[in-house]
Chains A and B, each alone.
Chain A
Amino acid sequence: MKNNSILYIGILIFGIAAPFVFPAFKVQLSILCVLIVLATTWNIQGGEMGYNSFGNILFYGLGMYLCASVQVGMFFPLAEWTESGGEKTFVHTPAQFFQGMAVGLLVAALVPTIVAGLIGYSILGLRGHYFAICTLGLGVAAGEISGGIEIIGAGQGFTTPPFPDVGSLDARGEFFYFLSFFTLVLTFIAVRSIYSTRFKLILNAIRDNEDKAEAMGIETMKYKIIGWMISAFFCGLAGGIMGGLVGYIDSTDVAFDGREMGVFMVLMAILGGKGTLWGPIIGATVFHIFKEGFWTFFLGWQYVALGVLIVVIVIYFPEGIMGWLREKYPERFGEVVDEKDRKAQVELK
């Protein structure tokens, strides 16, 4: 337990010091935090519950649009802000910007949670591939629909409020880094405490055999919906932050970016190891580093390189990095291998 707290404090110090130690990497580090949040919350469904969702991008995109809309709408007419691709210019004062961001993030977290509840109620009855395909459609549909809504910029995109001039050039990077790092810490604490309760066991029971779980008297539907709502809460938050960080929201390429973010969050969780607490975190970090590296060194071929990486993952690490480590060093995961028993089994054959 003591060891654990040292680890957490170490990571926390690293997280707080990172933007000052590596000032040039602030944006990448912020994105890393967002990626970890997305992978960790995807893991609630995909890993612990066994429901492979491609629809979490819906909450991310929704959060992004909501946060920006609230941030603008609180102080200026939103329709004029986005009219003709944002021809008119309004400037937020620092106070307006931060107030707007705070309220915006709150809305960006709460509304997707409610939406997840409503959609979950109607589609979480689907199982296996049917659920996956249905959720895949959610993101695509949301992208196309939002691309036609004039008040949020439609196809012209939505320029989020520029960061106010507070004197320092680094302020923007630091603000968004700490915001995303704080969200990451919040997500981690929330997920970790959830995983230490009966809730996780229920999710696992649903994954292992939903019918049996139901027969045991568990209201599976309720827990499935709650699980998805928790994911949606943090996905929305991550989306809101990402919108401000990117500065420009496009319906299919930035917000409801199922082709990239939507797939990446699944990949990262699988790479790190589904159904573990640390798996998605490690997966997201490794993935992000590889991806940035590929972008620099394999210009124009990065997706080929990424494809090779995915093939390698699937073939050699089907259970992810954590799964692989666990198999290799079971004793480090607190698993005791009874040599006598193991030998006895082998000899019997």
Chain B
Amino acid sequence: MRLNKIILSFVSALVILFSTSVASFAKVVGDKIILGAAISLTGKYSSNGVHTQNGYNMAVDRINSMGGVKVGGKTYKFDIIYYDDESNPKRAAQLAERLISQDGVEFMLGPYSSGLTKAIAPVTEKYGVPMVEANGASRSLFTKGYKYLFAVLAPANLYLDVAIDLAVEKNNGKGVTVAMAFEQDAFSQDVRLGVLDAIKRTGSKKVIDDKLPKELNDMAATLVKVKQMKPDVLVVSGHTKGALTAIRQISEMKVDVPMLAMTHCDAAKLSKQHGKNSQYALCASQWHKTLTYKDDFFKDGMTYDADFTKEFGYAPPYQAAESSAALLVFKDAFERANSFDQKKVRDALAATNMQTFYGNIKFAPGGQNVDKPMVLFQVMCDDSGKCENKVVAPTKWASAKLIHPIPSWSKR
């Protein structure tokens, strides 16, 4: 059969294609330290993926222009190989494998979101590739005994439990009723666990516990229940889309609730997109520009905010800030290790104890950052309709007083 000839030539063409495409990079080429990162440039996390990428790029440029990394008396510059993981864990795991085994990357930066980090961590762990990640907050990442995973952020379960504490405090220490709506994904479900812990601890009561679909576009059913049950606190978490959907529908349906606690308000640019409708929303944040941490590269939060806005045309959400911090951590570790040996760099990372503009960074044995508390800010608007995020808790950083309860829609 002649057909075989076609197939045979096809197979041999394949062989040639494969053998020519073995491109090899090394971890350090010339004066460059090459880091690998799978980032969500498309798909449901694309907006946060871009924040992450911008944060990485900003720090790479800054560190390189300010003298680079000094190892063994020589100066090196950072460079990052990016791939698009399409917000898909399957793809992310594949890309991690590809970065390590094909591109020869020996140091990795994290992807965006807990789910993707969960998919990548086993791969980096297997190859002993140190990964500093800035956007995977799921608590379960830090209980697996991973030795090469370091997260500059506080775990997800700490995001909103402060809000419950705050509500209880406002209720004279008595338990409150809590309505919860969380997206079906690793991060949001972890935030939920934290809230559940807080509910138990404070003797509060959950009255609604809804799981919302991914790519959250509609939560009207939950809000109808909220209108009926009149809980003291409504907690919503579902990445950027969740925050936008919640504010859109709460304002449309005029849902009155004394406290609305959310995540991802700044990544969603809530105060800009929804203006006064987003007023009084309480948001968990890893970072805020008014915090007074300092470092040599970005100086402080206000300067970072201004520089980032100048470069990318929008104010940096915390996702960008923590991503920038990841590179500062890497630089610090390389210099302390004074080597590119993966084990030595890993040990140096584990011993990190530094302050950056983003916050203090010190890793627990599990890899999470234990030296940086979460902050809560509230969206506050003036009469002209200009809205700003102001830190209201913890009191050490507060720049404004919490407005509680939220005035009803009829009085706004």
Which residues of A are in contact with B by a Cβ distance under 8 Å? 3-4, 6-7, 10-11, 14, 21-28, 31, 84-89, 144, 147-148, 154-157, 159, 162-163, 169, 172-173, 242, 246-248, 250-254, 257, 260, 278, 282, 285, 289, 295-296, 299-300, 302-303, 325, 329, 331-334
Q: A27-B98, A84-B139, A329-B2 are in contact. Are A300 and B22 (CB under 8 A)?
A: no
Least Cβ–Cβ distance between B40 and chain A, in angstroms: 10
Give chain A residues whose Cβ lies under 8 Å from the Cβ of B101.
Answer: 23-24, 26-27, 173
Q: Is B302 an interface residue (CB 8 A)?
A: no
Q: A163-B126, A172-B126 are in contact. Are A254 and B90 (CB under 8 A)?
A: yes
The answer to whether B143 and A87 touch across the interface, beta carbons within 8 angstroms, is: yes
Contact of B89 among A22, A253, A300, A302 (CB under 8 A): A253
Interface readout for B108-136 with A: 1 if CB under 8 Å, 0 if not? Answer: 00000001001100110111000000000
Contact of B119 among A148, A155, A247 (CB under 8 A): A247
The answer to whether A332 and B17 touch across the interface, beta carbons within 8 angstroms, is: no
Q: Please give me the residue from chain B that is nearest to A32 by CB atom.
A: B14
Which residues in chain B, 9-66, are within 8 Å of chain A measured between CB atoms? 10-11, 14-15, 17-19, 22, 41-42
Give chain A residues whose Cβ lies under 8 Å from the Cβ of B89.
Answer: 157, 246, 248, 250, 253-254
Q: Please give me the residue from chain A that is nearest to B214 by CB atom.
A: A252
The answer to whether A246 and B90 touch across the interface, beta carbons within 8 angstroms, is: yes
Give chain B residues whose Cβ lies under 8 Å from the Cβ of A88.
Answer: 143
The answer to whether B88 and A155 touch across the interface, beta carbons within 8 angstroms, is: no
Least Cβ–Cβ distance between B133 and chain A, in angstroms: 15
Most-contacted residue by chain A among B115, B127, B140, B182 (CB, 10 A): B140
The answer to whether B211 and A148 touch across the interface, beta carbons within 8 angstroms, is: yes
Q: Please give me the residue from chain A that is nearest to B215 by CB atom.
A: A252
Interface readout for B159-192 with A: 1 if CB under 8 Å, 0 if not? Answer: 0000000000000000000000011111011100
Instruction: Pull 24 A–B residue pairs with CB atoms less than 8 Å apart, ordered by A.
Output: A3-B4, A10-B11, A14-B11, A14-B15, A21-B19, A24-B101, A85-B138, A89-B143, A89-B145, A147-B213, A155-B185, A162-B126, A169-B127, A173-B101, A242-B90, A246-B89, A248-B119, A253-B115, A285-B10, A299-B82, A299-B84, A303-B42, A333-B2, A334-B2
Give chain B residues whose Cβ lies under 8 Å from the Cβ of A295.
Answer: 83-84
Q: Is B221 an interface residue (CB 8 A)?
A: no
Interface readout for B353-385 with A: 1 if CB under 8 Å, 0 if not? Answer: 000000000000000000000000000000000
Give chain A residues whose Cβ lies under 8 Å from the Cβ of B412.
Answer: none
Most-contacted residue by chain A among B10, B17, B82, B119 (CB, 10 A): B119
The answer to whether B11 and A247 touch across the interface, beta carbons within 8 angstroms, is: no
The answer to whether A24 and B139 touch across the interface, beta carbons within 8 angstroms, is: no
Q: Please give me the residue from chain A that is nearest to B95 by CB atom.
A: A295
Contact of B90 among A85, A89, A257, A303 (CB under 8 A): A257
Bound complex: CA A296 to CA B22 (Å) = 13
The answer to whether B184 and A27 touch across the interface, beta carbons within 8 angstroms, is: no
The answer to whether B190 and A85 touch across the interface, beta carbons within 8 angstroms, is: yes
The answer to whether A253 and B186 touch across the interface, beta carbons within 8 angstroms, is: no
The answer to whether B8 and A85 touch across the interface, beta carbons within 8 angstroms, is: no
Q: A155-B184, A155-B186 are in contact. Are A253 and B88 (CB under 8 A)?
A: yes
Bound complex: CA A253 to CA B211 (Å) = 17
Which residues in chain B, 58-106, are within 8 Å of chain A measured between CB atoms? 82-84, 87-90, 93-94, 97-98, 101-102
Bound complex: CA A331 to CA B101 (Å) = 44
Q: Is B193 an interface residue (CB 8 A)?
A: yes
Bound complex: CA A244 to CA B101 (Å) = 18
Q: A85-B139, A154-B211, A253-B88 are in contact. List 12 more A-B contacts (CB 8 A).
A: A24-B22, A25-B18, A25-B102, A27-B97, A156-B189, A156-B190, A248-B115, A253-B87, A285-B10, A289-B17, A295-B83, A299-B41
Q: A299-B82, A331-B2, A334-B1 are in contact. Are A89 and B189 (CB under 8 A)?
A: no
Give chain A residues whose Cβ lies under 8 Å from the Cβ of B254.
Answer: none
Contact of A300 among B8, B17, B42, B139 (CB under 8 A): B42
Q: Across chains A and B, which 9 residue pairs bring their CB atoms closest together, nearest first? A: A155-B184, A332-B2, A85-B140, A248-B119, A300-B41, A24-B102, A87-B143, A147-B184, A27-B97
Give chain B residues whose Cβ lies under 8 Å from the Cβ of A154.
Answer: 184, 189, 211
Bound complex: CA A4 to CA B93 (Å) = 38
The answer to whether B88 and A156 touch across the interface, beta carbons within 8 angstroms, is: no
Bound complex: CA A36 to CA B184 (Å) = 31
Q: Please give me the residue from chain B that is nearest to A276 by CB atom.
A: B3
Bound complex: CA A144 to CA B41 (Å) = 24
Least Cβ–Cβ distance between B368 and chain A, in angstroms: 13
Give chain B residues whose Cβ lies under 8 Å from the Cβ of A252.
Answer: 214
Give chain B residues whose Cβ lies under 8 Å from the Cβ of A24.
Answer: 22, 101-102
Least Cβ–Cβ distance between B173 and chain A, in angstroms: 28
The answer to whether A162 and B122 touch across the interface, beta carbons within 8 angstroms, is: yes
Q: A25-B18, A85-B190, A300-B84 are in contact. Are A4 and B1 (CB under 8 A)?
A: yes
Least Cβ–Cβ distance between A306 and chain B, in angstroms: 11
Q: Please give me the residue from chain B that is nearest to A300 by CB atom.
A: B41
Q: Please give me the residue from chain A that is nearest to B114 by CB atom.
A: A85
Contact of A11 among B11, B97, B127, B214 (CB under 8 A): B11
Give chain B residues whose Cβ lies under 8 Å from the Cβ of A332.
Answer: 1-3, 5-6
Most-contacted residue by chain B among A22, A156, A251 (CB, 10 A): A156
Give chain B residues whose Cβ lies under 8 Å from the Cβ of A14.
Answer: 11, 15
Give chain B residues whose Cβ lies under 8 Å from the Cβ of A325.
Answer: 6
Q: A24-B101, A246-B89, A248-B89 are in contact. Are A159 and B22 (CB under 8 A)?
A: no
Most-contacted residue by chain A among B22, B90, B93, B188 (CB, 10 A): B90
Q: Please give me the residue from chain B that is nearest to A88 by CB atom.
A: B143
Give chain B residues whose Cβ lies under 8 Å from the Cβ of A155.
Answer: 182-186, 188-189, 211, 214
Q: Please give me the residue from chain A that is nearest to B193 by CB atom.
A: A84
Bound complex: CA A247 to CA B93 (Å) = 8
Bound complex: CA A250 to CA B138 (Å) = 14
Bound complex: CA A329 to CA B1 (Å) = 12
